[in-house]
Amino acid sequence: MNVLLGLLSLAALSLFLSWLLRRPAGLMPIVAVSACMLFFTVAGCLGAVVPGALFAGGVLWYVLCAAALVFTLIKLRGKIVSLFTPAFLCFLVGSVAFVLLFALTKPMLTQWDEFTFWGPAAKVTSTVNTLYTMADSSLIARSYPPGLIVFSYMMQFFGGFSEHGYIACFAILYLACFAAAASVWGKLKSATIVFFSALVCLPLLFEFNLGAGQMMRAYLSCLADMPMALLFGGALCFYFAGGEKGARLMLPFGLILGALTCVKDMGLALAFCALFIAALDMLACEGGRLGFYKLRRGAAFWANIGWGVLMIAGCYLLWWLHLSTAAEINRFQLDGSGQMDTVTMLLTGVTMLLGVDRSPQFEQVLSDMLRAFFTEPVGLLGPGMLVLCVILAVTLAAFLLSATKRQRKRVLVFTLAAAFCFVAFYIFNIFTYALIFNPGEAAMLREYNRYISPYWVGWLMGALVLLGRAATYHKASFYRLRLGRAVSAGVCLLLVAALALRGNGRANFLNVSPATYTERENLNAVAAAANAEGAAAEDRVYIISQGDNGTRFYMFGFQLRGVRTRLFTGIERDELGQVVYDEEGKALVSGNVAVTLVSYEKPAETYGPYDVPCNPEDLAIYLAQMGCTHVLVDVVDATILEDFAGMFSDGLAGWDGLLGRGNSYYKVTWEPNGSCLLVPSQTGGAA
Amino acid sequence: MKPLKQKPKRRGKLLALCYAAALLVWLALCGARLALDTAHIGSGELPRLELGFADFQPSGLFDGAERDLPGTIISTDPDSQLIYEQAGGFYATRVVFDAAPLNKGAGEIVLYYTTRPADSAGRPQDFSEARKVWARQDAAGRWVFDLDGRKVYRLRLDPDTTGGVVWRFNGVILNERVPVAFYFLPDLRQGVLLALLPLLFWAALCELLAFLQPLLARRRFERKWGEMGNP
């Protein structure tokens, strides 16, 4: 419920911005969200120099928003009511509804990526009031951009981190983007409601990675892909629905592009796409109307573009600077089989595309990607080809219904620019598959729709807004306007109907099965047991969870408050079975990320993907080297019970491998002879 | 251009009407289901059955008694299944899976059903994603599936999608009796849809009227005034 305070600050800022920028309030939530992301990104990065900057930023943010609200109230008095346009009301009511719904149903995080980054990063940032890059935590990957994390930090500034609050933040962000699009309808209530309903269906219709028979995770998922997609669409909608193109539109537009860059690495590409589309539109359709304060025409154009580029590049470079100085991570280094940086990837990709020295993987990916466009379903609607048809149909309707030549030209330019960017975006993705992914992942086009769909979503939103514009143009003839409204409503209802038909039978955020959370509940019980046995914030913990594939390891990293978890990576041994040491006398780790310990006697060819050979001596070396202070016993099997029981002072009493549980939390102690003894940390003695 | 303006009052009434209509449709549907189930109970076609592990054809599951864990069943496979069938088909309302995972999470708990008898070659209808119910949980922590009184031929209960789960298992209840109020109380999803769909329907109707009304109004206007040459 603390999220409601964050929402209040967004609403206050939106009202103020609406007055300041002379635009309908419905357009402003997306600007407020973007401003928040940029403000806290800067504050968070400042934290590397000035400790506590993030927290101070939070206080300042709320003070500023309160001041903005008071100012707007005094300035406008009774007239403030007129700011509450239907789109803005949809945003407010929808957001409150989502916050209440999630406070009631208490959804939890369940997906892998939510535990490797998005969940723990947000939690640690909220808990220690420092950006996750600099906080001492279990996080392994830290280089992801911070937009969503700091947004959650602001929203949950009071009352601390909660999973359902975090999930609600994402819904609020989505609705802010939808409100910007729905603002095109001005004061028309019913048209706004129909339009907004269709947009609310979009995340469900374009759900990424929806497996056969799986529940729909849209609105429950805390990954960055959908926020990025909707911010991209929202930026386009903001530009096209926002009215006259001057500094009052283009300055906040730049903020949205900056936020897009801060949400996910790929957001950089999409931000440039949005800027490119806007630039062509200004060039072709605005001409003399364009302004930027006192600048006109060409100068205004370059000022607008320059501001956009400045925001995008500024955000990107700020984060790069922060990573390389504060966190010592090279952002330009892309992970993967290719081990190449972005620029090399682009150059190599272009030469290969032109037919020079094509690698087999490139040939393969190229043909697969072309085929995937026609066959691979993106979301519930169908393959990209079909989505393109839907978008083009909407665009055609917008074109035919446009009242003026300029308006028709605008639709045409938008379509050409968006298509051009799509081709570029698609080719960029071909490069990443061909040059960055390992061959196995590239062959199956791993997570194809997660990478491609964001563009479809944004393009469709933009097309819908152009249709709305055609139907609300004040000088258009009476019948054209009525027809435009009817066609737009028809398209929106078709989208809602498509969701009802294609998504029928799948569980979604309204009727998510509680069985989805049994894994978490089971794990939370173990974590609670560990806490009861004396787990403390400064502990370094090694987790024994046999048969795990890493899921439970990362879940513990998220769940155990303040506790740092460690992952066993195997100890290097030579042919004679001797431990290999480096010059500093440290045992070499073999580097396999593995979670299931198996005996050296097990034949190597029978290893599972997460198995690593280990004996008590290895484990002791590892615990010493990693500075582990405690061991958490989660799941044991015969290997642990037979080979490792001797390390435990209670001999793992109570554990029998299936249901019997003994102590969960053991303290690492060292005997005078150097051997390791794990003692139940419970002060009251063994259970 | 008076007749072309929107009339807020009438639109408000229309909205109230939409909600009233939705409520009526809801009550009618619920009433129909209640009547049907009551009739089936009266004719003995909807008996309450308590099923044990032996009543199912298990796949990827075994009785925990074999591992000295009586009262449990253990899944060995992420695609473990409990299949139940009656040759002539049967009516099914609420199915209760009275069990709890003891050692790890279950993933998904779902119930598939088939709605057609075996074909002439004796092949039963395949289970499909389109005929699947997701488990809810009742106050006692039991897993509940509502099949809405439809006639089914086979049931397939998938207790987990993780494999290696030890289930405390107290049996399965077929056609658990529910109080009358249950038929009329919407669950969360239905409640939200009941709150939102009439609004969307109203908005769509308004859009339709906004399109049609001026056309009609102008024709009426022209019929009345046009002949006098004084539009």
Task: Lowest mean pLDDT of A373-387, B81-95, B211-225, name the range.
Answer: B211-225
pTM, two decimals, is: 0.93
Residue A332's pLDDT is 57
Residue A592's pLDDT is 60
Shortest alpha-carbon distance between residue B11 and chain A (Å) = 10
> Sign of torsion, CA B141 B110 B69 A607?
negative
Residue B229's pLDDT is 43
Q: Are strands B166-174 and B49-51 parallel, antiparallel or unpaired?
A: antiparallel
Across residues A360-385, what is the average pLDDT? 91
Across residues A117-132, what is the average pLDDT? 92
- What would the DSSP string read from start to end of A172-210? HHHHHHHHHHHGGGTT-HHHHHHHHHHHHHHHHHT-TT-
8 Å CB contact between A304 and A290: yes
* C-alpha pair distances (Å), A149 with each of A106, A142, A154, A544: 20, 12, 9, 30
> Does residue A9 have a pLDDT over 60?
yes
Closest-CA residue in chain A for B191? A510
E-state strands within A468-617: 540-545, 564-566, 596-598, 611-613
Distance CA A10, CA A19 (A): 14
Residue A500's pLDDT is 92
Q: Band the pLDDT of A340: cuts 50, 70, 90.
A: low
Shortest alpha-carbon distance between residue A336 and chain B (Å) = 29
Contact B104 A635 (CB under 8 A): yes
SS3 of A630, please? strand
* A490, two tokens: 């028809």
Contact B105 A514 (CB under 8 A): no
Helices (H) then strands (E): counts for chain B: 3, 10
* A428, two tokens: 């960029």
**Phi (first) and psi of residue A388, to 5 degrees:** -60, -40
In a mutagenesis test of the A interface, which of B73, B111, B134 is the best target, namely the one with the most A β-carbons within 10 Å?
Answer: B134
* A678, two tokens: 């794990």
Q: Is B73 on the interface with A (CB under 8 A)?
A: no
Residue A279's pLDDT is 96
The C-alpha torsion from A661 through A663 and A668 to A672, rounded to 10°, is -100
Task: Lowest mean pLDDT of A167-171, A253-257, A588-592, B97-101, name the range.
Answer: A588-592
Q: Is A505 on the interface with B (CB under 8 A)?
A: yes
> Does residue A519 have a pLDDT over 80?
yes
Q: Is B107 on the interface with A (CB under 8 A)?
A: yes
Using a CB-CB cut-off of 8 Å, the residues of chain A touching B164 are: 547
Cα of A392 vs its chain's centroid, Å? 28
Question: In this prediction, what percent of chain A has a pLDDT beyond 70?
Answer: 95
Interface subset of B 43-62, CB within 8 angstroms of A: none
> Sign of torsion, CA A472 A476 A478 A480?
negative
Residue B1's pLDDT is 39
8 Å CB contact between A250 and A211: no
Using a CB-CB cut-off of 8 Å, the residues of chain A touching B110 are: 513
SS3 of A315, please? helix
Distance CA B61, CA B54 (A): 12
A519 vs B107, B189, B206: nearest CB = B107
Half-sphere exposure of B32 (CA within 13 A, CB side): 8
- How high does pLDDT run on average in chain A? 89
Question: In this prediction, what percent of chain B has a pLDDT beyond 70?
Answer: 92
Residue written as token pair 């044991």: A636
> Does residue B231 have a pLDDT over 50?
no
- Helices A267-281 and A405-431, interaxial angle, to 10°? 160
Contact B67 A519 (CB under 8 A): no
Cα of B5 vs its chain's centroid, Å? 42
Shortest alpha-carbon distance between residue A117 and chain B (Å) = 21
Distance CA B199, CA B192 (A): 11
Contact A493 B204 (CB under 8 A): yes
Instruction: Spell out the alpha helix ranges (H) of B100-187.
Output: 180-184
pLDDT digits (tens, 9 = 90+) for A638-668: 888 988 999 999 988 888 867 888 888 999 9
Residue A401's pLDDT is 93
pLDDT digits (tens, 9 = 90+) for B101-145: 998 888 889 999 999 998 888 888 999 888 999 999 998 889 999
Q: Is B138 on the interface with A (CB under 8 A)?
A: no
Question: In this prediction, what percent of chain A has a pLDDT beyond 90?
Answer: 55
Contact A510 B188 (CB under 8 A): yes
Q: Is A496 on the interface with B (CB under 8 A)?
A: yes
Instruction: Enumerate residues 6+ apart whose C-beta is below 8 A from B186.
Output: B26, B194
A423-429 LR contacts (CB < 8 Å, sep 24+): A424/A273, A425/A269, A425/A270, A425/A273, A425/A452, A425/A455, A426/A369, A426/A373, A426/A452, A427/A349, A427/A353, A428/A269, A428/A349, A429/A369
Using a CB-CB cut-off of 8 Å, the residues of chain A touching B4 are: 478
- What would the DSSP string read from start to end of B29-93? HHHHHHHHHHHHHHTT-S--EEE-GGGSEEESEEEGGGGT-TTEEEE-STT-EEEEEEEEEEEEE
Distance CA A261, CA A170 (A): 17
What is the DSSP code (8-state) at residue B158?
E
pLDDT digits (tens, 9 = 90+) for B176-188: 999 999 899 999 9
Q: Is A300 on the interface with B (CB under 8 A)?
A: no
> Does residue A684 have a pLDDT over 50?
no
> Does residue B227 have a pLDDT over 60?
no
Contact A515 B106 (CB under 8 A): yes
Count of A-B CB contacts under 8 Å:
115
Q: Is A523 on the interface with B (CB under 8 A)?
A: yes
Closest-CA residue in chain A for B164? A658
